[in-house]
Structure 1
């Protein structure tokens, strides 16, 4: 019963947060500001959006092609189309129930290629772990790239004494957490250690693959596609066309985190992007419009590919 309630809350709470942010953002603007935002939507150069979506499509293709390497490492073969449909369905399902896409992706492989669920799911987890490490690298790279700007912003908003105090507290908590992790024998911590060791094993298994370098290069290409998708869309609006790549990097990282920790970024993504762009002098109206354009175009691509995959998969593989 508790698990069902937890799962239900994991679905409802992100949606409620998204709805709240949409309503809050709408009511925080005046009628004149809303009219200005509507004008941004009407006057945007959607050719750049189409280019962005094409780049995103190649990212889907690369993710589907990359999957064959982890499957072959376990001795299984799956046609590219099945992999592509499964990946598209994965993204589509994650829009409804967080993290359900990975399960759906493994089920597609089980039903259409007779790959055991645990084996297929294991390959997906190993991919996700690699993606997580690349995201962490993006975050660290962005911090270094925009260190001066972030430092100046924090110093103007938070007094040095408070910053020092918070830094000491964070350091103590960090060191205490490491010591607790190493020496504690709590049951829940043992389970956490098992999960972490499993993630580590998943990452290390990638380096044991016979074709690890094509896998890693495709992983990098997928994330390059993510960044390029975001970068290209800045030219859709004149108000965002001038921002530097450093600003794009910060916005991309914050947007990625918003998507990761919410229901596909619904309501959260546009607010987060607008907040970041406001630090660099972009008006709230333009930042909000830009955030919604980026989010809506990417979600539109996911809905189109996911719906088409649900339709075409059983038609092309009727024998399964």
Structure 2
């Protein structure tokens, strides 16, 4: 094993250890009987509905991906193959964080003959749009539940003191902001030949160019519409589970939206499947809404556990389906 692979496996082991430690720390004082009782008393019609909605969301993500794959090489990617490749990607992420992006592209390269570079470019663009949607969702949560949003922010930062300080020192704050912007521009120009600076600039140029390409594709409305619909699906998945559990059944839609935002941030963390980070953030915000600590942690465990089992089942099925397909070969010229 070379040094690069050893370093990668060490990183995987560290991220897994962190995830397991966070999960253990959260649940070490919760009796397994409490979790079993909650599972037994939950309304599984609602939880089953969330699972079905999630399945539709996974297929929609695969369909959206086909809209970005506009390569003239290889065989056109159908939605069913894009869906299976997507599920294989989710499955790979449970083993190695962020490995799913490469795994799902590699599957289509083998079965459809499309270059890995082209597919990875589409995935980077997908992730950029997802990040944009996450920011938009956070902004929407602030608009709909601004009082609640500020109260939660106040749990972490004394917003009143911060705002008063900014008002009393507004000229200084504006001056610092202007100086910071000028300093960043100076660094970008002064070190434009630096490798890291080049990579950062290239990353943002790629995102900007990618967003322009979306509007030039055959179905830009379908792409943006499906991107928004996926986040509505994420919300409905969380909302239906909340209806199925007695301790969270009375949460408002705005409160569930904030829970979804926190859970989404937890899933972004570089750990396998958001294990630990998802549970910690979801439980934290539910406690702020008056849900007991035990019930908040159990809610996080149920929604994450059902989604984890769904990904495992669908991912393994998709892997078996795609592995049976032959490797794509260039048709012989007549």
Give the TM-score taking structure 1 as reference length.
0.89
Matching of residue 314 in structure 1 with residue 312 in structure 2:
no
Paired position in structure 1 for 2:228: 220
2:175 and 2:15 map into 1 onto residues whose CA distance is: 31
What residue number does 1:183 align with?
186
Kept in 2: contact 1:230–1:248 (CA 8 A): yes
Residues in 2 aligned to 1:233 and 1:219: alpha-carbon distance in whole angstroms? 22
**Alpha-carbon spacing, 1:130–1:5, altered in 2? closer, same or farther (3 Å):** same
**Aligned-pair distance for 1:170?**
9.3
Higher mean C-alpha deviation, range 14-23 or range 213-222: 14-23
- Residue segments in structure 2 that go unaligned for 5+ positions in a row: 329-334
* Aligned pairs (5 A) from 1:237-276: 237-261=245-269, 262-276=271-285
Q: Hey, what's the Cα distance between the residues in 2 that align with 1:133 and 1:148?
A: 23
Distance 1:58 1:164, change over 3 A: same
- Give yes or no for contact 2:23–2:276 (8 Å, CA) kept in 1: yes
Structure 1 or 2, whichever has the larger Rg, is 2
Preserved CA contact (<8 Å) 2:94 2:273? yes
CA–CA separation in structure 2 for the residues paired with 1:96 and 1:173: 44
SS in 1 for 2:27: helix
Q: Deviations over 1:24-50 (max 9, x none)?
A: 123344x5xx54343112211222121
Unaligned residue ranges in structure 1 (runs of 5+): none
Q: Which structure 2 residues correspond to residues 1-320 of structure 1 after superposition, within 5 A?
A: 4=5, 7-29=8-30, 35-72=33-70, 77-155=76-154, 159=158, 160-161=160-161, 178-184=181-187, 185-186=190-191, 187=194, 188-261=196-269, 262-315=271-324, 317-318=325-326, 320=328
Q: How far is the alpha carbon of 1:190 from its aligned partner?
A: 2.5
Seen in structure 2, the aligned counterparts of structure 1 residues 232 and 175 have a Cα distance that, compared at 3 Å, is farther
> Closer, same or farther in 2 for the Cα pair 1:199/1:180, shift >3 Å?
farther
**What is the alpha-carbon root mean square deviation over aligned residues?**
2.7
CA distance in 2, matches of 1:38, 1:26: 14
8 Å contact from structure 1 (residues 125, 202) kept in 2: no
Please state whether the residue corresponding to 1:72 is helix, strand or coil: coil
| Separation in structure 1 between the aligned mates of residue 126 and residue 151 of structure 2, nearest angstrom | 37
> Which shifted more, 261-270 or 177-186?
177-186
Q: Helix, strand or coil for the counterpart of 1:305?
A: helix
Deviates more, 1:177-186 or 1:117-126: 177-186
Q: State the number of aligned residues.
A: 316
Deviates more, 1:80-89 or 1:6-15: 6-15
